[in-house]
Amino acid sequence: MNKYNPPRMNPSSLRSRFATRFLRTLSKINAQKPTSSSSPTEIFRRYRRIKAAADKSMAYSVRSRRTWSRAMLWKLRTRPCGRRSVKTSTIIKSREARKTRHEKQNKNTTTTTTTTTGEDGVVFGVEADELRELVPGGEAMDLYNLLDETAHYIKCLTTQVQVMKKIADFYSP
C-alpha cells in the first residue's frame, strides 16, 4: 500500500461518521466469522448482516434528525434478529413516535390526497406513492416533506455507496 498523508477531513462530516461506524461494525462481523465461511449460504447471511450494518450505521450517523433515519432504525430494531437484543423501552418509544407519526399521517393524507390530486393532478399522486415506498418512513409525510427527505436520503445513499465502494476496493486483490 502506498503511504500517503490523507488530507485534512472534517471529522464530523456525514461521510467520516458513517465510515467509522461502518468499519467498526464490519470488524465486529469479521471477528465473528466462523472458519467455514465460504459456503454461499454463509456468505449470504453475512451479506445480510453487512447490509443491515450499513443501513444502521447510516441511520445512526444521521441520528434522529430525519424521519427516514428514525424509520429505518425502528425497522432495524424490530426486525426479528436472533442475536440482537431488542430493548423494550426503545421499542415503546419508537412505537409512540410512530403513533404520533400516524396521527400526523392521518391529517396529512387527507390534505395530501386533496392537494396532490386536486392541484398538481393525479400524476403526482402515483409517483409520490412510489417514492413513499422507497424512502423509509415516507408513508407519513406530505409531498413537500417527502421531497425534503428524499433529497437528504439521496445524499446519504451516495455517501454510503462511496464508502462501501472504497472498502470493497480495499478488500479486493
Partner 1 sequence: MLHRLESLKSCTYDRMDMTVLERQAARLKWQQQNHVVQNNNPAELCASSVPRFQGLVGSNLGSGQMVELKRLEVFLGTDNFQEFLNFPVTGPEFGDSEKLDLLPPEAAADYCISRTSSCQITALDTAVMKEEREDMSLEKMESTIVSGRGSFNKRKAETVADHKSKDKRIKGEGEGESEVKTKCSTEISRNSSKENSKVSEVQKPDYIHVRARRGQATDSHSLAERARREKLSKKMKCLQDLVPGCNKITGKAGMLDEIINYVQSLQRQVEFLSMKIAALNSSVENLPMKEFPAIVANFPAAAKLPEMAGLPCFQLNPLQKESVNCMLNESMHPPQTEGIASASVSISEQSLSSSSMTQLQPFSTWNMDPQGLYNMYNMGFH
User: By rule CB under 8 A, what count of residues binds partner 1?
Assistant: 69
Q: Does 40 contact partner 1 by CB under 8 A?
A: yes
Task: Give the CA distances from residue 166 to residues 54, 138, 140, 169, 171, in Å, rounded to whole numbers and listed in that order.
Answer: 13, 29, 34, 5, 9
Q: From CA 99, how far away is CA 24, in angstroms rounded?
A: 33
Q: Does 147 contact partner 1 by CB under 8 A?
A: yes
Closest among 51, 59, 5, 48 to 167, alpha carbons compared: 51
Q: Does 139 contact partner 1 by CB under 8 A?
A: no
Q: Does 71 contact partner 1 by CB under 8 A?
A: no
Identify the residue whose cell numbers are 485534512: 8
Closest among 143, 153, 129 to 66, alpha carbons compared: 153
Task: Give the CA distances from residue 21 to residues 10, 28, 62, 123, in Å, rounded to whole numbers and listed in that order.
Answer: 15, 11, 12, 40
Among 128, 137, 140, 141, binds partner 1 (CB under 8 A): 128
Q: From CA 47, how far away is CA 26, in angstroms rounded?
A: 11
Q: Stretches 45-53, 74-82, 85-93, 99-107: which one binds partner 1 (CB under 8 A)?
A: 45-53
Q: Does 162 contact partner 1 by CB under 8 A?
A: yes
Q: Does 20 contact partner 1 by CB under 8 A?
A: yes
Q: Stretches 20-28, 78-86, 90-98, 100-108: which one binds partner 1 (CB under 8 A)?
A: 20-28
Q: Does 169 contact partner 1 by CB under 8 A?
A: yes
What sections of 11-87 are H helices per DSSP?
Answer: 14-31, 40-62, 67-78
> Applying CB under 8 A, which residues contact partner 1?
1, 4, 6-7, 9, 15-16, 19-20, 23-24, 26-27, 29-31, 33, 37-44, 46-47, 49-51, 54-55, 115, 119-120, 123-124, 127-128, 130-131, 133-135, 143-144, 147-148, 150-151, 153-155, 157-158, 160-173
